[in-house]
Amino acid sequence: MALLHPKTLGTGLLALGIATVAVAAIQSTRVLIINGREASQDVRIINGRAYAPIADVAKALGSTVVINGNRYEITRAGGTNQVNGLQGKTGDWLFDGGWRFRVNNAYEADVYEAKNDWYGDNEFKPEGGKTMIIVEYSARNGNKEMFGLDIGPTTIVGKDGSSYKVESNDFPFDGTRMFSQPLLPGAQLDGALIFFVPRGFEFKELVLGIGDLAGYDDAVRPKERTYFRVRLTTDE
């Protein structure tokens, strides 16, 4: 569990003018107070200094913690349908520190014609009594330099707990179906993930792996592969 020293936290937040921080000893429980409200009862004294969980601090500020390798970033939401983190639902923009990702739609299809030419092999039609699930998405380069989007291990999960790996991907590719042409900072691409599944399969969520370029360029964020988990249905 990551801990944050209240003095350090207070200095940074007060500089931004967004919070006041105090640690109060209430009876025998140490409590962290932020903006006059209790933020955490898990205040620990280590070598004479008080620490509180970063997650508790972020929650009290209406924010989330994004973990990228050894980096812990407390980030506030950036507007309607903006989620700073790795989990959300269809229509949410998710951000991992390097890429923004949004699922736009998910549907079943018997035939899919790719919008981006792949050496003339552009029609997808499953065999053996299977059908397809198409997950349409958008992605934006949140890095400060031009990079391509790399899609790693990706699965679609059903309501019964079964899961199936992605069969193919339809976006402006560069070399492989899973690596895009370079995007300028802030630029967006639109694509579609293609899954072959048994008929009767009811999809529930998408688990998408992004990024393994950190070893090639120090500017790439995040530094390790991350996974977006997106709820595709309105079911709880």
Angle at 60 between CA 55 and CA 64, to 5 degrees: 45
Give the length of the chain. 236
pLDDT tens digits along 105-138: 999 999 999 998 777 778 899 888 899 999 999 9
CA gap 229, 208 in Å, rounded: 6
State percent of the chain over pLDDT 70.
Answer: 72
CA gap 232, 235 in Å, rounded: 9
- Distant-in-sequence, close-in-space partners of 121: CB < 8 Å, separation ≥ 6: none
Rounded mean pLDDT, 20-37: 69
Res 26: pLDDT = 45
pTM of the model: 0.62
Indicate the CATH number for domain 77-231. 2.60.40.1240
- pLDDT range class, residue 84, cuts 50, 70, 90: very low
Res 75: pLDDT = 59
Res 57: pLDDT = 84
- Is 219 in contact with 225 (CB distance < 8 Å)? no
pLDDT tens digits along 163-215: 999 999 999 888 788 889 999 999 999 999 999 999 999 999 999 998 755 44
Ranges of each domain in the chain: 3-61, 77-231
- pLDDT range class, residue 70, cuts 50, 70, 90: low
Res 128: pLDDT = 86
